[in-house]
Amino acid sequence: MKDAIIGGLAQHGWCKDKILDFFNKPVDTFVGQATASIWLRFEEECDRWWLTAGNFTSAGENVLATSFAFFPVGISQNEIQQKIASLVASMDRDISRAFSVRMLDVVGYRPVKSWSASALV
Residue 49 pairs in a beta bridge with 42, 71
Determine the Cα–Cα distance for residues 58 and 109; give it in Å rounded to an integer. 16
Q: 30 and 103 in contact (C-beta within 8 Å)? A: yes
- What is the extent of the structural domain holding 60? 2-120
Q: How many structural domains compose the chain?
A: 1
Residue type, 74: G
Q: What pLDDT shows up at residue 92? A: 97
Q: Which region holds residue 116: left if phi is over 0, alpha if psi is between -120 and 50, else beta? A: beta
Residues of the chain with pLDDT under 50: 107, 114-121
Q: What is the pTM of this model?
A: 0.84
Fill in the DSSP letter of residue 24.
E
For residue 14, the SS3 value is: coil
